């Protein structure tokens, strides 16, 4: 069985992950020069912790993991409630602190919610193709995804909350939801956005959106980080200024440079070529994740892979977009590149699940015939 899993693995996913981790380590090393590479050392430690999880979640049958997901779902809800009573860090109650290490439960909540939703959706599909489009079924799914989202917004962590939404939309699309609901959702979102901005978002979140729409509104305040980020990326030009030589990075103008604005460090010190390569690696990773979704042996694996692709897609678009002023700043990390133990470990687990799903599928078989080629896939 292990030989079969290894044979069918979607190896480009693992290769892209390794390359992103390596680039991230170089960037974090340079970004933490002023602090004696403390975060760099911690990142290395978290990579060591993540590797066994990568192996375990690749080998352990994802169907078995899905069966215990209802229990995991209720446990993670309790954890998300408990973290609200911790001491705030940078104004957010998002972490449990253990000595010099911090754990962010919302990162692991993404995985559990995706698996649990995939289990529910796959069971719905077994009852009929249109089962998932029934209003009562959609309401159930919305409740499942809304509870953790509301708890995470309470922390507050709007970026991570939006990642749940992105995963959910990818999963619904792959599960075969009626297209009319997509149109209705787009209309509702269009109506909801101005209402949320006006009556729900706190002042600091509104300010970020205002600065995004008008970067010169507060250049020394809310717009400062964005301005420094764009200066850094532009200064890198084609080949970069060199590791440990970036002006914005090394002189402390760029902040937080090892997490939110790590892509700016890459752009400034490694240049357009490496920054462009990072984007290409993410495109390949997400494309391959969607291919795993398409070729999975069952609906459970297909929907699960789509949810993971949605998370990576949102994180890539949002983080890189915000560093270049194309999207509002939300504090979303860049997967495998930004410093952060919880993020790194959760991302490795999601990669492991993609490898798990790909390893248990039946490879497509192409048979040459005089009349053409016929494609058959055995589920």
* Separation CA 111–CA 73 (nearest Å): 10
Asked if residue 59 belongs to a domain, the reply is: yes
Asked if residue 369 belongs to a domain, the reply is: no
**Residue 278's pLDDT is what?**
97
Highest-scoring range by mean pLDDT, 201-210, 245-254, 297-306: 297-306
Asked if residue 284 belongs to a domain, the reply is: yes
Mean pLDDT of 150-162: 92
DSSP E strands, 145-193 = none
Contact 377, 298 (CB under 8 A): no
What are 121-153's pLDDT values in tens digits? 999 998 877 788 888 999 999 999 999 999 999
Owning domain of residue 344 = 2-85+100-362
Sorting pLDDT into bands at 50, 70 and 90, what band is 375?
Answer: very low
Q: Which of 19-23, 166-170, 180-184, 329-333 has the lowest mean pLDDT?
A: 180-184
Asked if residue 19 belongs to a domain, the reply is: yes
Domain count, the chain: 1
Query: Does residue 203 surpass a pLDDT of 60?
Result: yes
pLDDT above 90 covers a percentage of the chain that reads 66
**Residue 79's pLDDT is what?**
97
**Residue 56's pLDDT is what?**
95
Sorting pLDDT into bands at 50, 70 and 90, what band is 363?
Answer: low
Token pair for residue 375?
A: 């494609």
Query: Does residue 368 surpass a pLDDT of 60?
Result: no
Query: Does residue 321 surpass a pLDDT of 80?
Result: yes
* Separation CA 328–CA 222 (nearest Å): 11
**Residue 373's pLDDT is what?**
36
Asked if residue 375 belongs to a domain, the reply is: no
Asked if residue 90 belongs to a domain, the reply is: no
* Separation CA 211–CA 229 (nearest Å): 14
Mean pLDDT of 282-298: 96
**Residue 330's pLDDT is what?**
85
Token pair for residue 191?
A: 């109506």
Asked if residue 368 belongs to a domain, the reply is: no
Asked if residue 232 belongs to a domain, the reply is: yes
Sorting pLDDT into bands at 50, 70 and 90, what band is 357?
Answer: very high
* Separation CA 128–CA 71 (nearest Å): 26
**Residue 1's pLDDT is what?**
52
Report cis status (omega within 30 of 0) of the bond before 156.
Answer: yes
């Amino acid at each position: 069985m292990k030989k079969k899993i290894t044979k069918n693995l979607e190896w480009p996913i693992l290769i892209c992950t390794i390359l992103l981790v390596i680039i991230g380590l170089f960037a974090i090393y340079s970004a933490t020069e002023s602090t004696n590479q403390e975060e760099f050392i911690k990142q290395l430690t978290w990579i060591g912790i993540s590797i066994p999880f990568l192996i375990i979640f690749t080998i352990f049958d994802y169907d078995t993991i899905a069966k215990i997901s209802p229990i995991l779902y209720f446990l993670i809800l309790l954890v998300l409630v408990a973290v609200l009573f911790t001491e705030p860090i940078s104004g957010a109650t998002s972490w449990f602190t253990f000595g010099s290490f911090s754990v962010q439960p919302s990162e692991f909540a993404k995985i559990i919610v995706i698996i649990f939703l995939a289990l529910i959706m796959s069971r719905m599909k077994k009852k009929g193709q249109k089962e998932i489009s029934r209003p009562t079924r959609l309401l159930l799914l919305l409740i499942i995804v809304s509870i953790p989202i509301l708890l995470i917004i309470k922390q507050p962590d709007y970026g991570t909350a939006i990642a749940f939404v992105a995963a959910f939309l990818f999963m619904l699309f792959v599960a075969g939801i009626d297209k009319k609901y997509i149109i209705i959702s787009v209309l509702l979102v269009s109506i909801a956005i101005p209402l949320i901005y006006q009556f729900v978002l706190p002042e600091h979140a509104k300010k970020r959106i205002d600065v995004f729409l008008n970067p010169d509104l507060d250049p020394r305040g809310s717009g400062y980080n964005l301005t420094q980020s764009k200066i850094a990326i532009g200064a890198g030009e084609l080949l970069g200024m060199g590791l440990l030589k970036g002006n914005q990075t090394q002189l402390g103008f760029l902040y937080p440079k090892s997490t939110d604005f790590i892509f700016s460090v890459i752009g400034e010190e490694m240049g357009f070529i490496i920054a462009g390569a990072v984007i290409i690696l993410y495109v390949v990773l997400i494309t391959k994740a969607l291919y795993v979704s398409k070729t999975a042996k069952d609906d459970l694996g297909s929907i699960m892979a789509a949810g993971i692709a949605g998370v990576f897609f949102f994180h890539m678009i949002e983080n890189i977009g915000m560093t270049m002023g194309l999207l509002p700043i939300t504090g979303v990390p860049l997967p495998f590149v930004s410093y952060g133990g919880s993020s790194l470990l959760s991302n490795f687990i999601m990669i492991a699940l993609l490898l798990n799903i790909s390893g248990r599928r039946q490879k497509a078989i192409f048979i040459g015939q005089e009349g053409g080629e016929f494609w058959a896939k055995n589920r």
